């Protein structure tokens, strides 16, 4: 008899994953500072963030941390499905929870279940759109413009969680945290932005 499906499983995963994979999903808390996987290690699990914040990062040429992605919900490191080694570190920047599932089970299900394969491709297409938006955002010259673009594209109705704070967000935007602090303060003064309950909220301006 198959294992029961955890009632806490997010609706997104219930719609995406075959039942046999859903029964293998395991919940695990994650604490700020935890490293979920390290660059160079062999992937064994696929991870889905239900709450909290995780950044994917590498060490740059000058020894600095380069943020490749900041996730607040969803799969972390989807590319590991077809990779022999992780190409970056996954570091928890705001405590939360992840769902882990054996990566080999997903590979087997994709090979055997064409409907699941189509759903998986659709999910990856959404990630490609998100990455295109990120590229567009980094092409903008002003800090204010990048911040507003981030809130509009990745927020929910103009409401974006701060997660681990403005310093982490600055790395995601490719700007200094001092410049981001100034931009947030200026937008607040103009009545375009509000900081409330660890969120940045667009107010529409004056």
- Looking at residue 47, its pLDDT comes to 96
Residue among 7, 191, 15, 30 nearest 115 (CA) = 15
The tens digit of pLDDT for each residue in 130-144 reads 888 888 998 998 999
Q: What angle do CA 68, 54, 80 make, to 5 degrees?
A: 65
Say how far apart CA 164 and CA 95 lie, in whole Å. 9
Q: Provide the residue ranges of all domains of the chain, joining segments of one domain with +.
A: 11-136, 141-202
Does domain 141-202 fall under CATH 1.10.10.10? My reply is yes
Burial of 205 (0-12, 13-18, 19+ CB in 10 A): exposed
- The CATH architecture that domain 11-136 belongs to is Sandwich (2.60)
- 11-136 against 141-202: fold identical: no
- Looking at residue 206, its pLDDT comes to 44
The tens digit of pLDDT for each residue in 61-100 reads 777 777 788 888 899 988 889 899 999 999 999 899 999 9
Burial of 153 (0-12, 13-18, 19+ CB in 10 A): middle
The tens digit of pLDDT for each residue in 4-55 reads 788 889 999 999 999 999 999 999 999 999 999 999 999 999 999 999 989 8
């Amino acid at each position: 008899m198959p294992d029961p499906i955890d009632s806490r499983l997010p609706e997104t995963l219930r719609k995406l994953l075959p039942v046999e994979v859903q029964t293998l999903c395991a919940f695990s808390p994650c604490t700020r500072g935890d490293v979920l996987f390290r660059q160079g290690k062999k992937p064994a699990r696929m991870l889905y963030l239900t709450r909290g914040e995780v950044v994917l990062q590498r060490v740059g040429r000058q020894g600095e941390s380069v943020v490749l992605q900041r996730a607040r919900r969803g799969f972390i490191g989807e590319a590991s499905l077809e990779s022999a080694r992780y190409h970056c570190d996954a570091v928890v920047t705001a405590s939360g929870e992840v769902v882990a599932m054996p990566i080999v089970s997903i590979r087997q299900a994709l090979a055997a279940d064409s409907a699941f394969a189509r759903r998986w491709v659709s999910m990856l297409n959404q990630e490609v759109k998100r990455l295109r938006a990120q590229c567009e955002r980094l092409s903008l010259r002003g800090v204010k413009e990048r911040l507003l673009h981030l809130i509009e594209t990745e927020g929910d109705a103009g409401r974006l969680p701060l997660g681990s704070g403005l310093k982490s967000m600055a790395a995601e935007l490719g700007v200094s945290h001092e410049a981001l602090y100034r931009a947030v303060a200026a937008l607040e003064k103009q009545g375009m932005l509000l900081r409330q309950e660890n969120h940045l909220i667009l107010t529409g301006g004056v």
